[in-house]
């Protein structure tokens, strides 16, 4: 776009209505923290388009639970628990069974069946333990991404580690149900050279669009992914 040679042209443009102002494309860098200068671009934007800071991909350190499964030269990219919707089915069953057992317990207490009431309490404790076990498994299960592979670590007493090298991934997709689009979860399906593998379908992962883009970038643009995670150079003025 050619500059207006008239003196004060920039000030004149700022006084025009927003719809008549000349605009320049706002620079962006894919996958980085984008900071907009409101003094420079604010006058060109409508109120609902005010600039914000966007962190597309967060860099984190691996937890102690995950660190043991990484080899020294492997570069950690992120770990995720499954979405809380993963717990809803068993939690709902637990609540429903609790109401039913509570109703039966009230009847047994009224009729004086103490032995049956004791058995009912034991059954309820078993149901409670079943639900809490599912919550504990959800807490410890992780989906992990490195610069070399994707992994799923699951189980508490019997641990299961499934992994797939990124170099062998031939196709990857994710699907979201209508509820998944509202709540922000989806199911990943990964294929590797038309062969069966330990890690093929991972359900109920959070923020599937962002996660999908991060995995795809690690597969096709590893240099860009690595460059973004290097510490920024500090200019000490020397």
pLDDT, one tens digit per residue, over 58-82 is 446 888 889 999 988 899 999 999 9
5, part of any domain = no
pLDDT above 70 covers a percentage of the chain that reads: 68
User: Are 156 and 70 in a shared domain?
Assistant: yes
* Residue 57: pLDDT band with limits 50, 70, 90: very low
CB atoms within 10 A of CB 97: 17
Q: What is the mean pLDDT of residues 92-106?
A: 90
User: Are 160 and 204 in a shared domain?
Assistant: yes
Rounded to whole angstroms, how far apart are CA atoms 157 and 142? 15
Q: Please say if the pLDDT value at position 238 is more than 50.
A: no
Decide: residue 187, CB within 10 A, 0-12 exposed, 13-18 middle, 19+ buried.
middle
Contact 43, 50 (CB under 8 A): no
Domain range for 114:
88-137
**Alpha-helical regions (H) of the chain:** 9-15, 38-41, 64-67, 88-111, 114-140, 178-183, 208-220, 222-228
Nearest to 66 by CA among 78, 58, 55, 56: 78
Half-sphere exposure of 209 toward its Cβ, with a 13 Å CA cutoff? 7
User: Are 167 and 66 in a shared domain?
Assistant: yes
Least trusted range by pLDDT, from 27-31, 117-121, 194-198, 220-224: 27-31
Query: Which pLDDT belongs to residue 15?
Result: 57
Rounded to whole angstroms, how far apart are CA atoms 97 and 91? 10
User: Are 199 and 98 in a shared domain?
Assistant: no
54, part of any domain = no
User: Are 180 and 107 in a shared domain?
Assistant: no
User: Are 20 and 133 in a shared domain?
Assistant: no
Q: How many domains does the chain have?
A: 3
Contact 108, 120 (CB under 8 A): yes
Rounded to whole angstroms, how far apart are CA atoms 208 and 188? 8
Nearest to 138 by CA among 158, 154, 160, 127: 154
User: Are 101 and 205 in a shared domain?
Assistant: no
Q: What is the mean pLDDT of residues 222-231?
A: 72
Q: Please say if the pLDDT value at position 189 is more than 50.
A: yes
User: Are 149 and 183 in a shared domain?
Assistant: yes
For the entire predicted model, the pTM comes to: 0.66
């Amino acid at each position: 776009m050619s500059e207006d040679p008239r003196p004060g042209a920039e000030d004149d443009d700022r006084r025009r209505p927003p719809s008549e102002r000349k605009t320049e494309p706002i620079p962006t860098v894919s996958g980085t923290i984008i900071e907009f200068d409101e003094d420079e671009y604010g006058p060109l934007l409508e109120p609902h388009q005010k600039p914000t800071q966007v962190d597309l991909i967060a860099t984190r350190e691996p937890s102690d639970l995950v660190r043991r499964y990484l080899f020294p030269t492997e570069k950690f990219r992120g770990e995720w628990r499954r979405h809380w919707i993963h717990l809803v089915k068993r939690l709902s069953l637990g609540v429903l069974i609790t109401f039913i057992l509570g109703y039966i317990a009230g009847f047994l207490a009224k009729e004086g069946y103490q032995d049956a009431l004791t058995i009912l309490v034991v059954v309820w404790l078993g149901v409670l333990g079943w639900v809490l076990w599912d919550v504990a498994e959800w807490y410890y299960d992780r989906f992990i991404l490195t610069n070399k592979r994707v992994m799923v670590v699951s189980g508490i007493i019997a641990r299961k580690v499934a992994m797939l090298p990124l170099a062998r991934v031939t196709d990857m997709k994710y699907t979201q149900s209508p509820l998944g689009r509202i709540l922000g979860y989806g199911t990943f399906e990964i294929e590797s050279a038309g062969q069966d593998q330990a890690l093929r379908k991972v359900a109920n992962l959070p923020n599937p669009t962002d996660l999908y883009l991060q995995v795809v970038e690690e597969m096709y643009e590893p240099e860009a992914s690595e460059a973004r995670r290097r510490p920024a150079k500090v200019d000490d003025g020397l």
